[in-house]
Structure 1
């Protein structure tokens, strides 16, 4: 157990520190209130032994300040040469958890510390359990929103963010762009290179998409199979065309070999792009159907290209 001992009387501070260390505790000593507050944040003790009567800042003032600065509860035991009931009651009211009268009785001190050690152990176990729960919740949250293979947004999260984007852009009158991206001749890639290589191809493509579209208001999601959807907030058709061209070049830069494609000797993508200012009433089915239509127009035009359209 780590103990922060605060006492302005040097000899008393040294004597009690030695007693505590002989009992097997780690001790950090502070000579006044300001010193205690500074050392608390660095040392993060399991227990504070705090003298009540100190110049400049009393023990009760130090306790109040520690409770304000550090919400996580750590027990505070006040030390005082006074044993009046009123003093004890005031100390507890001011944030203390127990009270010891100086000079501290050895047996009483050991008993109090044993109780505080049990509390410290429970606090550490609770902290570990809380950390494990937070990690588990984070993992569940990732599973709920991420595509298991590529790590981009999954279809459920993509749909949710799309609805939010349509509503928000509709309320504020801003343009919204949706891209649908499909790997050209992906069946031939899988059939000839194998599904493991096909998975690696999709992962590389997803990473490239996220590198290109990582700003606020942009989201990359896996629509299904080898198709991805990109949401571009506050993006009009002119900017969207530039994004499509940039994405096309980024995929070329990946230089993933594809000897079984009629379009190119490496992996390429086709893109359908839809830019419009939403009314806020559009449905996901209508949006996906329309952008999918322009994706297939890009495929019909020879693949490795994009077809841009305004909302009709």
Structure 2
């Protein structure tokens, strides 16, 4: 389809009129779908996605006015409708406009008038296409911006702002439904020594690897992995009790063992490990995110005090 052609839906129950007009439209370079009833038009409309509808007023079963009203109600995106009729009365033209029409052609359709109307409609179709293209491009840009707002720049995990917002909503929802909510905070053990000895570039790679591992482990609906800050990560697990949270902490432990990132300065362990604080509560809905972070951080501190490379649970 060229830039000047249109997808035109032609609705007319008179076969001869329909065929003659369809041939003329195709000769002008347009793509035409010609149907004989309002129901056929309704059935094909969405798949054909017309840019112009030509519809006869006088049709059995469902006349042009009724079809126009149904289409306008069903599809919110505006498409120009041109009514076709042998009636020239001003009252009929006014009724057509009231029924959702944008123009009116008297049958038999004059070739010169038809061509003029189509040129005007082509301009509208071109503007619609450009608008839809611009809208789609804006949607893509907005999606990218949303990702940038919600994502951590280094690890591509959720950032602190997003996790805070999601946690706040989760507290309210779980409190309303009396369901358990779990939070895991993990901190890379002896990360300063890792950076000092392997360099900051390798340190960044280490954080990226840990983040990706956690993201792979927690990819189901209601599981959120974020970078809390520095070498700390946070995992929000909705509708998760303490037993499940403990199992998830073990999964993280085994995940780090599988990664086997060398760390010869990590208390003789030989690879990168993390300490984890795990909190599970059934919130009342009135708790603040700072309260939950504080309690989880206390559990994390206990894990570090217990020799690192372990997790501690509080409920």
TM-score (norm 1): 0.90
- 1:283–1:80 Cα change, 3 Å: closer
Post-superposition CA distance 1:226-254 (Å, at most 9, x none): 11011223333333222211221122223
Match of 1:294 in 2: 299
Q: 1:133 aligns to what?
A: 138
Structure 1 residue 258: Cα displacement: 3.2
Q: Which of 27, 30, 36 in structure 1 is aligned with 2:35?
A: 30
Cα distance in structure 2, aligned partners of 1:175 and 1:168: 10
Aligned to 1:242: 247
* 1:144 corresponding residue in structure 2: 149
Q: How does 1:94-243 map to 2 (within 5 A)?
A: 94-243=99-248
Gap regions ≥5 residues in structure 1:
none
Write out the 4+ residue segments of structure 1 that deviate beyond 6 Å after TM superposition. none
Contact 1:251 1:268 in 2 (8 A): yes
Q: CA RMSD in A?
A: 2.2
The farther-off stretch of 285-294 and 64-73 is 285-294
Number of residue pairs matched?
310
Distance in 2, matches of 1:46 and 1:6, equals 14
The answer to whether the 8 A contact 1:263-1:303 is kept is no
CA contact (8 A) 1:221 1:230 kept: yes
CA distance in 1, matches of 2:262, 2:148: 31
CA contact (8 A) 1:263 1:304 kept: no
- Deviations along 1:57-83, one digit per CA (max 9) or x if unpaired, are 212222122212211110010111121
Question: Secondary structure at the residue paired with 1:153?
Answer: coil
Q: Are the structure 2 counterparts of residues 24 and 208 from structure 1 closer, same or farther at C-alpha, using a change threshold of 3 Å?
A: same
SS in 2 for 1:177: strand
Say yes or no: does 1:91 pair with 2:72: no
The 1:76–1:247 alpha-carbon spacing in structure 2 relative to 1, beyond 3 Å, is same
- Report the Cα distance in structure 1 between the residues aligned to 2:11 and 2:59, rounded to whole angstroms: 9
Q: 1:64 aligns with which of 55, 60, 69?
A: 69
Q: Quote the Cα distance in structure 2 between the aligned partners of 1:270 and 1:6.
A: 70
Deviates more, 1:16-25 or 1:110-119: 16-25
Residues 101-110 or 278-287, more deviating: 278-287
Quote the Cα distance in structure 1 between the aligned partners of 2:111 and 2:165: 64
Alpha carbons of structure 1 residues 282 and 43: separation in structure 2 relative to 1, 3 Å:
closer
SS of corresponding position for 1:150: coil
Q: Does 1:53 align with 2:64?
A: no
Judge conservation of contact 1:273–1:295 (CA < 8 Å) in 2.
yes
Q: Map Cα deviations across residues 103-149 of structure 1 (whole Å, 9 max, x no partner).
A: 11111111111111111111112112221222222222222222122
Q: Which runs of 5+ in 2 are unaligned?
A: 1-5
The aligned counterpart of 1:8 is: 13
| Aligned CA distance change for structure 1 residues 190 and 94 (closer, same or farther; 3 Å) | same
In the aligned structure 2, how far is the partner of 1:283 from the partner of 1:53?
Answer: 66
8 Å CA contact 1:182–1:227 kept in 2: the answer is yes
Structure 2 residue aligned with 1:17: 22
Q: Secondary structure at the match of 2:262?
A: coil
Distance 1:252 1:30, change over 3 A: same
Output the TM-score relative to the length of structure 2.
0.89
Alpha-carbon distance between aligned partners in 2 of 1:28 and 1:175, rounded to the nearest angstrom: 57
- Please tell me whether residue 73 in structure 1 is matched to residue 84 in structure 2: no
